[in-house]
Structure 1
């Protein structure tokens, strides 16, 4: 199979970690007889430096023309002083909306080899965690009407029935493939948009009779993630709530450098990226952990290319490397073998 992938390394450690993910992709290609080709595009702070704006038309067009997109990270203190419309993060919003990527999948997995990094007590975590947060990505307060008028500022949370239906269906479908349990998170006791959200979740429920669904207010969901995270399997929620809860879930695992994400549209075209930031203070120093980006490639193979065997091969290779005691600096503990970004990429590629 031949696939053309748009690479958007971005800022900070983005180029470092994307290079290792490509190394692993090429190893997959050799092992399973696939051909992956690549084209690199600017986005984020590096694009601001080059052309004065965070997202060029050529970047969006090139990503649209690809079979999938692999993103590193964008942003950094260098551009924090800029007006909101020119900040590097606008590239992410532009790519997501421009490509219609309405569904964000963020797994929060506590790897057994890294259980000591979890900030929660062992009796709370038990045998570990495997939570999938399904976040609506192109609606809500981030894309609603906004403005400032003298001493007032406003941002509007707005959703249509069709926007809610398509993300809720994704949640149900993913729950069917996991443990058939879905938690819908809203603020229906206060917000009209959440009341509509809850109505649609209930209306669609009979179409997925094998999925048990329950509802939580977002403040309670945030508390329950710390109190009893094992109660969750799939969490489906709107844009801002999903942004916050997925970050909380990732921190519970204690290994933000390990966690991937996928942003999908209805035909399963997607953009894949690690959940961590650009970490410009360690860029180019062969320190960054590439595993989250490598696992993002596994998600790409699974969700966009329907290559389940190949995706599992990457995940098993990562687990094998961790079992052998290799760690980058962010997950290193005594008695482990510390390696750099490039060596970790080499080890995973070799383990394939």
Structure 2
């Protein structure tokens, strides 16, 4: 088994690093436009993606939520011979059980209630292209077994069908969970893990890539936002953004810039940064381990998000178990934990 992982291979040639940095910062069409950054950790990840892209093996991308795992998946597809074919992403946590199997493998008419016609599924749609399975840890046991067969043989069978189909889709998966821990808990198949983990890229959190923040901010400021003009940003404000911890990573930074653009018509100043950024120390006062100690008024969303995070910890990160305990769907949990926490 070939394993390429930066935790095990920390060294990278200067040429590969410089080449990755050049591609990362280029403005032409040699890369997906969202692959933005120049920090050493990001350039290392990009260099690994460049090295792995021509290979047909599965790739497992790891890292915290919001670090840019789908961006790396797009880079892998873009730099491969499949670049002209379909790139299809799927968040495995957004669909449950039978619906997820139907979405992946397809179904025949009458396979289940509501199956009024044949459905091909994403493995068919991604044939000769790339299928990106985000939050692979959320696959049900049945889906895990079927995915293992696809990885081993390239074969699958739609729900309710006796016909075997074949696919040549390259599978790239991603997770922010510890899959080895899930294996020890009996929640993830070890044999599937070995098949997915042939090649690995770990994406560092944004607080370890502060050098990327000015480039990302510039990119987000360039994006259209209604009729709002692009504001300028003061050096001190940029320093504050670079010093922030960013627990929500690039996703949180993007949301913060969008809010700042709404509040600041011409200039983003240090004062406006203070009014928008969520500080961990303030969150801790009203959330975290002191949910019951209401010493100040905070938005309800803060408490809702903190409580769900606490429930997830009690459930060892099992979103399905947490959703059943809370009586809500997994989609609702993902929406809440991925939403920005607002200041009062």
TM-score (norm 2): 0.26
- Which structure has more relative contact order (CA 8 Å, sep 6+)? It is 1
Q: Which has the higher strand share?
A: 1
Larger Cα Rg: Structure 1 or Structure 2? 2
